[in-house]
Structure formats: structure tokens, C-alpha cells
Structure 1
Amino acid sequence: MHRIDVLDESTRLVRVESGASWGAVATALHPYGWAITSGDHGAVGVGGLATAGGIGLLGREQGLTIDRLRAADVVLADGRRLRASADEHPELFWGIRGAGFALGVVTAFEFTAGPVGLLGHARLVHDATDTAEFLQDWAAVAGSAPRDTTAFLTIGQPYGRKVIAQSTILVDSEDPGVIRDRLQPFADLAPSPAQRVGLVDYSDVVSEAGPSSPAYGEPVSRSGLLDRLTPAAARAAARLVTSGESYFFPLRAMGGAIADADPADTAFAHRSAAFQVVATGTEPDVLDRYWEPLRSQLSGLYVSFETDTRPERLAEAFPPDTLARLVALKRRYDPRNLFHDNFDLAPVL
């Protein structure tokens, strides 16, 4: 189930089966000069991302991946197959875009792709040893960037007393002057021991960012949303990073087109979020010890990357009105709770 078909070139309407990878989608759309914002790397599957949200490297310009969705083929708990869109089963279509994992199995998606040419792409390595100050400065630059610029930050474990961070930045322009203007504020943040900048196709960006080796063991991760990176949030994040208990600490810029949608338009309701943050480790109790101070600063939870799926997390993932609508959908389409993996809505049914 990995077919990718162009349905209408005039409207850039594309049908993608749920087993496809985003790398394959980017490659298939490249000859048309199109792209769909789609997470960090090409190994990510279409089905999971396109039912949860989709915070991608074109996000500030295109919105979330779910904002590009126009229709979906769904298999329900009772075996029925139906098409969900703004005109057909619109309430189910609303729920699929943010909580599809709890409502059915989406077998195919119809997206409107965006026009994309050559892109400015940068990887900047930063000395982030003064971690709290660096995080605040980085957030100020990324959050105020024009919509054509989306930036992701990743911080690894400390190396001795040093903390190294890497920015991945995508600029939707092939004008060297524009690209330089967008990147210079990031380059000015801190000493940069290494950097790489070039003009690339989106398909190259997605393929390049893929994992180079398999992961072993059962990862633990925490995932949250921030309306703004306050000094308190920066200090809490810095303590987590410098503890060494998080292998990777990504901070992804949101805002821009993501914030254009009304929070009631999709089951992903956290449209005011400026950043998405993740901490990964192996021991939940240890990771939570450092995550809890940051949790108090969060404005919500993003279901992707979160491995703590206890019922109390539902209130963080979905605001009250959103959760009430999801519960009503669950009762209608999956009353026996067949789809109980990931975040389970049964405790609030």
C-alpha cells in the first residue's frame, strides 16, 4: 500500500497510500516542482504523520501536513470502508486530522501539494554550552523568521563540559541574497565550528535527513508544545540537556501558516504553539525527573514522539472541547474500542 498518484495537475491533488514513506512522496513529486511538508526525514511513514499533525521543514509556509489533507479513505472498526472529506463524513474528517489513530485505519490520503523550487538549506553547528541563553536566543530568531524559513534545532548529550547544537534550516528561495539574510541571524547566535549551506531540492533534504543506523532497545520520549520559550522553560530545558539523560533534545519551530487555522478546524487544536519540543532517553523515571519542570511550562502535548500514553496525558494532548468531540466520534465509530493503541480514549468514554 505505497502507491503515489497525481490525480489533478491543475490543483496539485495527490493520492498517497498510507504505507508510503515521505521520502518516496518527495521523490515522486519532485518532477512536478511540488512538495508536501512532512516531518524530519524520508523514512517516516505517511500514515502515522498524516493522522497526528505533521510538523515539517516547510511548516511555517505550508502549515501542518494535516492542513494539506483534502480527503481520506478509512476502514472503520466494523469493517466498513468510507471516504471522509469536508463534504463526506465531515466530523470524522475533522477527527482524523489529529487523532486518526483512535478512530479507524486510513488506507489512503488525498493531499494538495505546494509549489516548491530550489531551496536554501543549511546545517549550522553551534556552541550551546551556555544552554539556557542559547535556547532563548535561538527561539527568538526562529520564531520571528519570515514564513519562508523553518528551523529545527537538535541538541545531543554534553561532550565533557561542551554542549553542541545543530540547526537545520530550510528557506523557500533560490536567491542567494535572501538565503543569506535568513541564515545570518542563526549564524550570529554563537560560535559555529562547522556549517554547510547550499541550494537543494526538497527531495534531497528529506532523503539526506534519514537515519543512518537502526535504533536498538525501547526508546522513551516526551513530547510537548510551547506557546513561547520563556526564561523558566529555557532553564528547565538546559538542566535536562546538561544532565545527559536525554540522548536527543529537538526543538522545532512552528507558527506561521500553522497558526492560520482555527483551533476548531482539526483535532490538532494547539494552533498557538510556537515550538514543539522532545526529550528522548531509556529510563522513564530518570527522564521524567528532568522533564517535569519543563512540563509545567508547556501549552500542550503533541502525540507524535510521546511514549507516555496514560489517560491523564489526554487532557494535555486535546483541549476539553476537542476531547469531547473526539469522545462523541469514538462512541459513534468505535464503541468497542478496537483502536486502543497509542492514546486510548476508552477512559473518557
Structure 2
Amino acid sequence: MTEGIALDLAAAQADPDGFAALAERAGGTVFLHESDDGGLDPWTTAVWLAGRTQGVRIGLPGTVSAASAQMREKSYESLEILAGPRLAAAIQRRDGIDYDGIPASLADGAVAPGDPRYRGRKSTYMRGGSPGLVLRPRTVAEVADALAFASRHQHLPLGLRSGGHGISGRSTNDGGLVIDVGLMNDVQVLDEPRRLVRVGPGATWKQVAAVLDKYDWAIGSGDYGGVGVGGLATAGGIGFMSREHGLTIDQLRAVELVLADGTAVRASADENQELFWAVRGAGANFGVATAFEFEAAPVHEVGWAQLALVSPDLEQTLVQFGEVARTAPRDTTVFFLTGPPRQGQSVVQLYGMVDSGDPDTVVERLTPFASTGLLAQQQVVITRYADVMGQAADVGPGGHHGQGEPVARSAFLPRLTPEFARDVVELLASGQVFFFQLRHMGGAIADTPSDATAFAHRTPEFSVTAMGSSGAVDEAWDRLAHHFDGLYLSFDTRTDRQTDAFPPATLARLRTLKRELDPGNLFRDNFNIDPEVQK
């Protein structure tokens, strides 16, 4: 190569200082090759060279060995921290991927193991991952190119990623492909009188809220501003404004997608109506969303509350919380979060929103919730919706660095009964669950008929989520199954619960459309609607 030199590590062992001096004089990139007859370990040498020189770029070829692919990847991460932009590692090719066949339109942005950018692209917000290739399209045409490449690799997992926050973990994988639309993140107002907004799938709700705040508008989303638009806006969107303005998908007026065959389409109430019905609740089963059009709601100042309660009797607190939530006005939404008890007491975090800028109204709405336990800490402010979403940390160019594989379980709860409260206490006492959340539903969510969107569970009082660290969660969770009706697919790491996620008529309708639009089941590594299943 004209920009560097290749050095044999056996020769370098005899004169390390001379080796470093030669590398510094050579400039460009120094490629460290293993010797046939022993010599210095390339990883150790790379670390030493990074500390011994200042201008040398350090290149490790794809053939450098390590005890395992996982160890090699970790070694690269460590070296990247030390060498920073001076690391010029070669692509670590995974089996079954035609790296030489990456479309020209995507080649510059493609990220593979060994690329210095890989560490920030492989994982998500809370999950580790090791995909063989991450494609980062910027246009509709590039999304089509990415799908054409994926179609030639149907033997591999395929993840779709917008913001990379997804609890379900299906936007990364091991050794497969990821199509990351994070660069498609424009937010623009299309029609101010109609409050019509066009949003790219890679935008975060924090970004959306910041743009709309200038107009005194908001689009209800989840509870965290760092979530990407694409995943949430195709699954449902249960957030702080849902009881007043409906789910996020209820504010959706049109969506543009690229289908499995590369065709770009637009779906709305007037065009491709069946696809528009399906994409509102069935996730990533039918295509890659490239743009959304929402009708924002007028929202001014809001009351934002974060309350910490101590409960010596969690069963009673849950029952009281259910009673208060059941009768709360639509302008009030409060989420409930707790974990395992400690020394006989439970710490409960309540966080929620009142769509009002009047302090007296906010206090009136929140007082019944605060009385469900012993109030230990409170923070209640009058603020902007954008400020609430803005509390999310910026991910930055370094991306997410999630680790591990937390197990998440989800369900819809028609009614919070004393029996359910008792079973929740047993669930938390089992030690298998470290996170338990109730998301307040009702209100405007139930105004939309259950068959109007693929999200059919319109009448439950709560969405329930639990997380643990192992498969043992299931045994404890399944003891609550008789309380539930359905599940929210974005919060469940299982991929085989289609009959829980969708009622029979909804599922049959989705499968009919799947057979038409994705008969080869390219979009299968999600909450998959399998076209081959007839019932």
C-alpha cells in the first residue's frame, strides 16, 4: 500500500524502540502482521505502539487471530479507546456476507466489525449486538438498495433500526444485517394551518418536540425523548399525551415506505388504505418507513411530575393507584414504576403529565396519586412538553453502547383488580423481575375503534411491562397471564406471541396483506407475521 508499511512482528521483537522509530518515520498506516515463527502478539504491540507514537495510524488486518470472535471484537474496542482516530483496523468479515457486493450508494456509510465506527453502531440503547454489517441509507433510493442487498442474504437475520432504543432488541443481531435509518431524521412543518408535520424515521422524539415547541404543538410519543420515531410510530406509542390525544399512531396521517421488492409507496386514508391500517400497529412487517406525516396537537405549558413514594403495603398501593387512575381526567396521565421490595418496603416512582399550565389544576390532578403511598420526594413543575422530552441524553456520533440481553415481558391489563395487585407482589418477591411498570391508558385511546388500526387493544386500563435478566422471568410472569388480554409488541422480547399481540381477525387480515406485499418474508426478524401460516 502506498500510504503505509507492513511490519513483521518477529523482526520488531528484536528492536522495539527501533520499530517504533521506524513506524513514526514511515507515517501513514503501519500494518501489523503475525509472524509464522512467533514474535510479538499483534494486539499487545498495537497497544504499545499507540502509546509510544503520536502520528502513526495502526492497521490490523482481518486475519489477526484471537481466541474467539467476541474476544477479537473486545480487543478492537479497547484499542479504539487508546488509539482513537489512529486505528485503521481492517474489516472483520463474518460468514455469509458479500462484502464486495455492498451497493456503491451505501459503501461509504457501511459499518462492519473492525471499522472504527463499529463500536457505536453494533449495539442499541440497552442491548449488546454484533451484526456482520450495518447499512446506513440516507435516501429512499438507498433504502431500496439496502433491501436489494438484504434480499440476497435472506439466510441472515435482518434488523431495522431508527433510534436504536427499542426494548425488544430486534434492531440488532449476531452476524446478520442491520438497516439503520438514523440518518433520515429531518423534521419539517408541511402545513401550518393544518398542523401537518413530516418526520424522518431516524429522528428522535426529542428532536421532534423541539421543532414543534416553536408552534405550541406536540405529537404524543412514549415517555423518553431519545426514542426513534420509526419504531414507535409503527407499533403504537403509549405516552404522556395518549389519554388526551390518542396513541402516536392516531395522529399519523400518512406514511411512506419501501416494500420488500424495493417499491416506494405512500399509504394514507386515501391511498393504500390496507397498508395504512396495518402499519399502524404491526411494526416492521411490511416495509421500511422512510417518512411519516403527523397532525400535531396544540399543546402549551404542561405540569410535569416526578414523585417518589414509600409503600409498606404494595398490594394496597397498587389497588389505590388503579382506582385513582380509573377516574382521572383525560388531561392527566401517570405511569407507575417499582422493583423488588427492600426490608419489607417498596419504593414507587410515579411520573406523569397534566396538560395544563395552571398550578392549582396540576396539584388537584396529582394529589390523589400522591396519596397512594407515603410521599418521600416530589418534583412538580410547569414546563413545556419539549423540555420533558429534552431530558433524554443526546446519543451523539458515538452511538449506543448497550450491553447484555435483558428479558422483557409485556401485556395489556383490562382492569387493575385486588387479585392482580396480590400477584404482582408475588412476582416482585420472586426476585426474577427488577423493573415493573404500569402505563396509564384509557381516555382518547379508546375513542378509536379496535378494528381501525392493527393496534387493536384499545380498552385496557394499563400497559404492563416487566424486565429481568434471565429466562426464569417467564415462570413468574406466566402466573399473571390470566389477568391479561394481549401484549405490546415493542416491549416484549419474545417473537412467537402473535396470537397474544393481535386478535384473531386482526392477525388474519395482517397475514393476507403479508402474503401480498412480502411473500418471501424478508421482514421476519421482528414480531413476524409469517405469510406461510394460514390460520
TM-score by length of 1: 0.96
Which segment is superposed worse, 234-243 or 274-283? 234-243
Which segment is superposed worse, 135-144 or 88-97? 135-144
Displacement of 1:209: 5.2
CA contact (8 A) 2:283 2:527 kept: no
Displacement of 1:240: 1.3
Offset from partner CA, 1:39-80 (integer Å, 9 cap, x none): 010111100000000001111001100000000001001100
Cross-structure match for 2:482: 296
Which segment is superposed worse, 88-97 or 119-128? 119-128
Q: How many residues align?
A: 346
Query: Structure 2 unaligned runs (5+)?
Result: 1-183
Which amino acid in 2 is paired with 1:275? Answer: F
Specify the SS of the correspondent of 1:136: helix
CA contact (8 A) 2:206 2:392 kept: no
**1: distance between equivalents of 2:394 and 2:329?**
29
CA contact (8 A) 1:121 1:198 kept: yes
Query: Structure 1 unaligned runs (5+)?
Result: none
Offset from partner CA, 1:177-219 (integer Å, 9 cap, x none): 1111101101111111111111011111112256999642011
Displacement of 1:243: 2.5
Offset from partner CA, 1:108-140 (integer Å, 9 cap, x none): 100001111110111111113311221111111
Which segment is superposed worse, 316-325 or 234-243? 234-243
CA contact (8 A) 2:257 2:291 kept: yes
CA contact (8 A) 1:223 1:301 kept: yes
Specify the SS of the correspondent of 2:244: helix
CA contact (8 A) 2:441 2:460 kept: yes
Change (3 A) 1:294 1:214: farther
Cross-structure match for 1:134: 317
Matched, 1:325 2:512: no
Cross-structure match for 2:20: none
Which amino acid in 1 is paired with 2:511? Answer: V
Which segment is superposed worse, 241-250 or 50-59? 241-250
Cross-structure match for 2:462: 275
**1: distance between equivalents of 2:426 and 2:254?**
43
Which segment is superposed worse, 235-244 or 299-308? 235-244
Cross-structure match for 1:5: 188
Q: What's the % identity of the aligned pairs?
A: 51
Specify the SS of the correspondent of 2:214: helix
**1: distance between equivalents of 2:401 and 2:434?**
15
Which segment is superposed worse, 338-347 or 102-111? 338-347
TM-score by length of 2: 0.63
CA contact (8 A) 1:73 1:106 kept: yes
Question: Higher relative contact order by CA 8 Å / sep ≥ 6: 1 or 2?
Answer: 1
Change (3 A) 1:227 1:338: same
Change (3 A) 1:167 1:289: same
5 Å matches for 1:1-349? 1-208=184-391, 215-284=402-471, 286-310=472-496, 313-346=497-530, 348-349=533-534
Offset from partner CA, 1:213-253 (integer Å, 9 cap, x none): 96420111000001111222211111112323212111000
Specify the SS of the correspondent of 2:239: coil
Which segment is superposed worse, 178-187 or 85-94? 178-187
Offset from partner CA, 1:273-318 (integer Å, 9 cap, x none): 110000001101x1112101212210111101100112xx111100
Which amino acid in 2 is paired with 1:293? Answer: R
CA contact (8 A) 1:163 1:242 kept: no
**1: distance between equivalents of 2:393 and 2:454?**
28
Q: Which runs of 4+ in 1 moved over 3 A?
A: 209-215
Specify the SS of the correspondent of 2:235: coil
CA contact (8 A) 1:40 1:209 kept: no
CA contact (8 A) 1:143 1:254 kept: no
Specify the SS of the correspondent of 2:271: coil
Specify the SS of the correspondent of 1:61: helix
Offset from partner CA, 1:301-337 (integer Å, 9 cap, x none): 1101100112xx1111000110011001101100000
Offset from partner CA, 1:120-175 (integer Å, 9 cap, x none): 11111111331122111111112210000011111123333221011112000111
Specify the SS of the correspondent of 1:166: strand
**1: distance between equivalents of 2:365 and 2:393?**
25
**2: distance between equivalents of 1:211 and 1:136?**
37
Which amino acid in 1 is paired with 2:406? Answer: P
**1: distance between equivalents of 2:488 and 2:499?**
11
Q: CA RMSD in A?
A: 1.5
